[in-house]
């Protein structure tokens, strides 16, 4: 038999876990102000994330999906995108959303049970959080098709988790994007676990990036804890798509340091040593060491930043808690021109239980 095709998956890392550069620094990484901007954004999302978990634990927020450990992937992607691009998130990409202009109060409003939190004031055409698995990849491909038809120099970017790559919708989106050379980027945030299912139990592939091969599009793997590498790889893919070169699949390797959501207990299925090892590689340590080694950061600046972030988060929480709660009727609005009889009954029951006193 003869070989008719061969493929390879490249891996990108710029910052090693110790904060030292192991590859040439991109231009943006040579700009101290820009590096500090990314580090500040990563720190803010971590402070916000911890507060959101505390709000849920005290009954002031609904079930919440922590993004702890994903900060480099999220901020690197947000920094690589243009404002006119469109984001199709899953449900924990808060770092990207904050970078793009979604407010912390909007995030809290949605996870507090109010759909108006999805009515973003700034990135008006970004998609809302997508709890169904993998459907957001089709949304992004559809938006990218519109951009191509309208000849607009815009791109769509869809997030997906490692578990979501086992869904049929993911493959359908890749196939459509590849066959039509659509300006869309698919980013797999491989954090090791699809709730309680490890990657090894999900697929026999050596990488998730190689799933691009079947769609005839480029696939690349990147250190998802390295904000420089993420921003460079995603930025290059976006520019290629903007030039008409079509889509790219990017696998960002990171680790979910938190439970899957506040309704999960990851200690039931994850080895404690695995989590401990992952904490040594988490993304904020790496970029902080880079800044310290460069002589543009110190303990006093770190403390000031944490205090500033806490004030911003507290202000957002105050805004969220002051917002009037929607009634249970909101669940039944905008569904039908005339509400069917069975939904009238459901609304009546919802009103009965929704009128009982409860926390925010």
**Catalytic residue set:** 256, 260, 269
Separation between Cα atoms, residue 157 and residue 164, nearest integer Å: 15
| Residues 309 and 100 sit within 8 Å (Cβ to Cβ) | no
C-alpha angle 105/110/114, rounded to 5°? 110
Q: Residue 226: is it exposed, middle or buried by C-beta count within 10 angstroms (0-12/13-18/19+)? A: buried
Question: Please, which residues bridge with residue 253 across strands?
Answer: 190, 223
**Quick one: DSSP state of residue 24?**
P
Residue 5: partners with Cβ closer than 8 Å, 6 or more residues away: none
Q: Give the span between the Cα atoms of 106 and 94, in whole angstroms.
A: 11
Taking the C-alpha atoms of residue 55 and residue 317, their distance in angstroms, rounded to an integer, is: 9
Tally the C-alpha atoms within 13 A of residue 210's C-alpha that lie toward its C-beta: 9
User: What's the first-to-final CA gap in the chain, in angstroms?
Assistant: 67
Cα separation values, 301 from 3, 39, 43, 46, 292, Å: 57, 12, 12, 17, 11
Stretch (H or E) spanning 221: strand 219-223
Two tokens at 101?
């202009």
């Amino acid at each position: 038999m003869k070989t008719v095709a061969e493929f390879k998956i490249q891996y990108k890392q710029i910052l090693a876990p110790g904060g030292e550069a192991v590859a040439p620094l991109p231009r943006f990484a040579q700009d101290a102000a820009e590096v500090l901007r990314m580090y500040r954004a990563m720190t803010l999302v971590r402070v916000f994330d911890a507060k959101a978990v505390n709000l849920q634990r005290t009954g002031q927020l609904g079930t919440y999906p922590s993004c702890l450990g994903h900060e480099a992937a999220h901020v690197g992607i947000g920094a690589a995108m243009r404002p006119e691009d469109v984001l199709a998130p899953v449900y924990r990409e808060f770092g990207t959303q904050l970078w793009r202009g979604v407010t912390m109060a909007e995030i809290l409003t949605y996870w507090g049970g109010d759909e108006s939190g999805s009515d973003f004031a700034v990135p008006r055409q970004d998609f809302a959080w997508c709890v169904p698995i993998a459907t957001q990849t089709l949304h992004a491909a559809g938006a990218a098709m519109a951009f191509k038809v309208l000849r607009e120099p815009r791109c769509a970017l869809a997030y997906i988790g490692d578990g979501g790559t086992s869904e049929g919708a993911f493959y359908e989106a890749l196939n459509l994007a590849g066959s039509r050379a659509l300006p869309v980027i698919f980013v797999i945030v491989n954090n090791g676990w699809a709730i309680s299912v490890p990657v090894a139990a999900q697929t026999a592939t050596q990488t998730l990036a190689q799933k691009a091969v079947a769609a005839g599009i480029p696939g690349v793997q990147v250190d998802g804890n390295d904000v420089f590498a993420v921003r460079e790889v995603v930025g290059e893919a976006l520019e290629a798509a903007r030039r008409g070169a079509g889509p790219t699949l990017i696998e960002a390797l990171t680790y979910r340091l938190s439970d899957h959501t506040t309704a999960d207990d990851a200690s039931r299925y994850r080895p404690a040593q695995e989590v401990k090892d992952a904490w040594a590689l988490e993304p904020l340590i790496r970029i902080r060491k880079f800044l310290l080694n460069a002589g543009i950061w110190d303990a006093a600046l770190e403390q000031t930043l944490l205090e500033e972030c806490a004030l911003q988060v507290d202000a957002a929480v105050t805004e969220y808690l002051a917002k009037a709660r929607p009634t249970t009727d909101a669940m039944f609005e905008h569904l039908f021109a005339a509400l069917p009889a069975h939904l009238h009954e459901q609304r009546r029951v919802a009103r009965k239980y929704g009128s009982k006193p409860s926390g925010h």
